[in-house]
A = this chain, B = another copy of it.
Amino acid sequence: MGWSEYSSARLSLLTEHLMSRPRLTALIRSLPAFVPFVGPEAQERARNRPFRARMGANESVFGPSPNAIAAMEAAVSENWQYADPESYDLRDALAQFHNVSMDNIVIGEGIDGLLGLMVKLVVEPGDAVVTSDGAYPTFNFHVAGGAGRLARVPYSDDREDLDGLLEAAKREDARLLYVANPDNPMGTFWPASDVMQLIDRLPDGVLLCLDEAYCDTAPTGELLPIDVLHPQVLRFRTFSKAYGLAGARIGYCLGEAWLVAHFEKIRNHYGINRVGQVGALAALADQEYLAAAVAKIVRARDKIAEIAVANGLTPIPSAANFVTIDCGRDDTFARRVMEELIARDVFVRMPSVAPLNRCIRVSCGRGEDLAIFAAELPEALIAARK
């Protein structure tokens, strides 16, 4: 049968079949068509012009270790092979790095992929899940996809309110409590002692999801030590931020072996790409480079804060690889500042929820990125104030 004959046969079937679409599940029908983050590429297509400074996605423009680049280049020619689905070498290296067992570690397609699986482990339809109002929207996306019921706790002084979160977890009989430390989108940080207090007061049956995507840029020595004994805590880390490998999509989860083992029941065992996995392994091994990259990030953070102050704005002290800047008015004004920066080819983002959305969020950049930001911010502010 040729294409045209086939095609016309199908067209006649179309009418017949329009009413017999497959039935979607009740959950899928109930979900909004919500995408957590529109990418800068979509904006570039809409603007029909590339950004000059990519400072909106909390990537690290400083990139990964040269050793990671070399390892990935070498791995390209082996990309006809699936990656090891057990991620043995990477888990082995991470286990040594964190002084835990390989059984305490599961690798995923970025932290995002692992968040979805974690929700599936503990959340039954209608179960309560607690997070901060305005925190990581992709977590909320996965909770919605898992039919969880979100309870949101306001930030307090631009920090995640640990007491409030704990209280909500108790009140709602939550299965899951999300805390990002350092926080995104505000960049604020709780030192070990505060997080430890939270953990020690966790009610039975709640799982703490501690998202530490930004931990590598947090104050040295103030980060909660690794602990894989506590059965109610899972910690999430990534090669996407300070390690400079956002495109590689390699995140991992650390936790008690019993709980971690359950990811095996549902994860996409062949979901990890080979080049990214090789790159992460090499990046982990080069802690000297990481330290240098973090130093650059810290300098860029200071510079962004300086630029903000020079423009009469208030930078929020950040432990992450970005600085969130209080624009001093409401969300309408902050959105205009963001839009004026975007119009000037500077890609930045902003928090989505009041009162956080009085701010814009600026990822760390190189000297040239910061120079563009410094040059364009005054103009953007003038335009936004009009």
A28 at the interface (CB under 8 A from B): yes
A123 at the interface (CB under 8 A from B): yes
Q: Identify the stretch in A9-17, A154-162, A180-188, A354-362 within 8 Å (CB) of chain B at 4 or more residues.
A: A9-17
Q: Given the complex of chains A and B, what is the CA–CA distance between A280 and B89 in angstroms?
A: 26
- Would you call A116 and B249 a contact (CB within 8 A)? no
Chain B proximity of A210: nearest CB distance (Å) = 13
Interface set, chain A 55-80, CB cutoff 8 A to B: 57, 59-64, 69, 72-73, 75-80
Q: Of the candidates B13, B64, B120, B262, which one forms a contact with A200 in the assembled complex, judged by CB atoms under 8 Å apart?
A: B13
- Would you call A59 and B31 a contact (CB within 8 A)? no
A97 at the interface (CB under 8 A from B): no
Q: Of the candidates B3, B14, B28, B145, which one forms a contact with A230 in the assembled complex, judged by CB atoms under 8 Å apart?
A: B14
Q: Given the complex of chains A and B, what is the CA–CA distance between A261 and B151 in angstroms?
A: 28
- Would you call B231 and A21 a contact (CB within 8 A)? yes
Q: Of the candidates B80, B196, B270, which one forms a contact with A110 in the assembled complex, judged by CB atoms under 8 Å apart?
A: B270
Chain B proximity of A73: nearest CB distance (Å) = 5
Whether A109 contacts B248 in the complex (CB less than 8 A), given A21-B232, A73-B76, A122-B23, comes out as: no
- Would you call A79 and B23 a contact (CB within 8 A)? no
Chain B proximity of A78: nearest CB distance (Å) = 7
Q: Given the complex of chains A and B, what is the CA–CA distance between A28 and B119 in angstroms?
A: 11
- Would you call A227 and B10 a contact (CB within 8 A)? yes
- Would you call A206 and B266 a contact (CB within 8 A)? no
Chain B proximity of A308: nearest CB distance (Å) = 24
Chain B residues with CB under 8 A of A1: 192-193, 196
Chain B proximity of A158: nearest CB distance (Å) = 25
Whether A62 contacts B80 in the complex (CB less than 8 A), given A145-B265, A225-B3, comes out as: yes
- Would you call A83 and B42 a contact (CB within 8 A)? no
Q: Given the complex of chains A and B, what is the CA–CA distance between A232 and B112 in angstroms?
A: 30
Interface set, chain A 67-122, CB cutoff 8 A to B: 69, 72-73, 75-86, 88, 109-110, 112-113, 116, 120-122
Q: Given the complex of chains A and B, what is the CA–CA distance between A138 and B85 in angstroms?
A: 13
Whether A88 contacts B22 in the complex (CB less than 8 A), given A229-B10, A271-B112, comes out as: no
- Would you call B80 and A258 a contact (CB within 8 A)? no
Chain B proximity of A279: nearest CB distance (Å) = 7
Interface set, chain A 180-216, CB cutoff 8 A to B: 192-193, 196, 200, 204-207
A220 at the interface (CB under 8 A from B): no
Chain B proximity of A70: nearest CB distance (Å) = 9
A272 at the interface (CB under 8 A from B): yes
Chain B residues with CB under 8 A of A60: 80
Q: Given the complex of chains A and B, what is the CA–CA distance between A361 and B364 in angstroms?
A: 51
Q: Given the complex of chains A and B, what is the CA–CA distance between A63 and B81 in angstroms?
A: 9
What 4 A-B pairs come out closest when comparing CB atoms? A247-B274, A41-B84, A22-B207, A79-B247
Residues of A within 8 A of B (CB): 1, 3, 6-7, 10-11, 13-14, 17-18, 20-26, 28, 31-37, 39, 41-42, 45, 54, 57, 59-64, 69, 72-73, 75-86, 88, 109-110, 112-113, 116, 120-124, 138, 145, 175, 192-193, 196, 200, 204-207, 225, 227, 229-232, 240, 244-249, 256, 258-259, 261-262, 264-266, 268-276, 279
* 8 A-B pairs (CB sep. < 8 Å): A21-B256, A24-B121, A25-B121, A35-B264, A37-B269, A39-B84, A249-B272, A271-B271
